[in-house]
Structure 1
Amino acid sequence: MKAATIAAMIKLTALPRGPVALAPEVATQLGRLAAKLGRPAAVTVDPALVEAAEAELRTAIPFEVLAVLAVENRMLAGLAYWTEEIDAFYAADEAPIRFPHVAFAQLVGTPEDWTAEPCFAAFARTADRAKARLVRWDVRKPDRDGTPYSLAQYLVERHEVLPRGKAAPLELTIAAPPVVEHWATHTTFGRGRVLARGEGKTKIEFADGVRTLADNFLTFE
């Protein structure tokens, strides 16, 4: 059965609002990662962005993956990007391989050359994010179910040694970003009022309507 067919069969669970309970060991590990990266020990994820990504990928996204992306300050759009790249790679084969997972990080290679012996951290598509299983997927030597993987292994592979000692456990909250009274200017759309910011994007009210744009195309004031 094709991955697209499997995905279409998944009925997504509702995304909760408010604080999310992470497993104690996950909160501890991600708290140490936040300390290493100079990020706050409390992160907030925009539910609208999560739900849009889940709808596109037809899978619930595990809370620990949402937390990792938030701490690393990465966008959810990357999940669709990596997954589409892997699907496209396999589609070119004479005997296409099924990739019934969603990739959330590249482990080997570079963003400029993802074909350099690429391996990915991924998770199996699921309707219940609490039961999601992380895997390590080698594009060149694929295993039907992927290699069992853990958040601890991912952190070692991506970030090497995390600081020891006391670090506040990570707190994950799913909530809409607050409305802020600031302004931003875009070369095409002009000056507009900032409505919300998150994950490298900003929602702005311009004279001709509301738009969501990448922060690197904006000048803030």
Structure 2
Amino acid sequence: MNDSLGGILQEMFTMPNVKWDEVWVATYETIYMTVISTIFAFIFGLILGILLFLSAKSESKAARIFYSVVSFIVNLFRAIPFIILILLLIPFTSLVLGTISGPTGALPALIIGAAPFYARLVEIAFKEIDKGVIEAAWSMGATTSTVVKKVLLPEAMPALISGITVTAIALVGSTAIAGVIGAGGLGNLAYLTGFTRNQNDVIFIATLFILVLVFVIQFVGDWATNKLDKR
């Protein structure tokens, strides 16, 4: 047992199986998937969050129905495990992108999985704004677009940045899962090269690079949040 453990530790520190060109390609693929999916999750999630918040506040019956439908869809996609979501979206991904493999093939599932999650964070961020500020804007005759641009977004911006930081970190984990089924990236490297070939040093390096990426995202997100928070 001790010899086996010692062998694993020696392999991890000497890293005889690590091919750095493969590591850099896998790192690029993970960053590519994370950045692109985060951008689109931010856009779609922000739009969904605004619609959810505004329709929940409306006294219109149509708006209430709209809120119920959108809320159900958001909850539905949030509840589906990511690995299953990828499989469910294979026909859609193939139709839209013409491929279901590689980093690009994972993007639809990553975006569709993350956008509803971020939409809820957006809705929560708007609900935390002082109601008096919003009501004052309405009472002065501000239009809906003006309220969104001049009140909701500026007031909730620190929370929105914090929310997209959490979403981006969750997406890093999702890219690792996507990698297991052929999307590339560090998850693919850890599983297909490291696990299936029993190369613990490759698993260690892939994990280390994922952790570094997560820490960088968290640092940048915290810095931006603190810069924008005027309290």
Fold-level match, TM-score > 0.5?
no
Larger Rg: 2
Hey, which of these two has a bigger chunk of strand by percent? 1
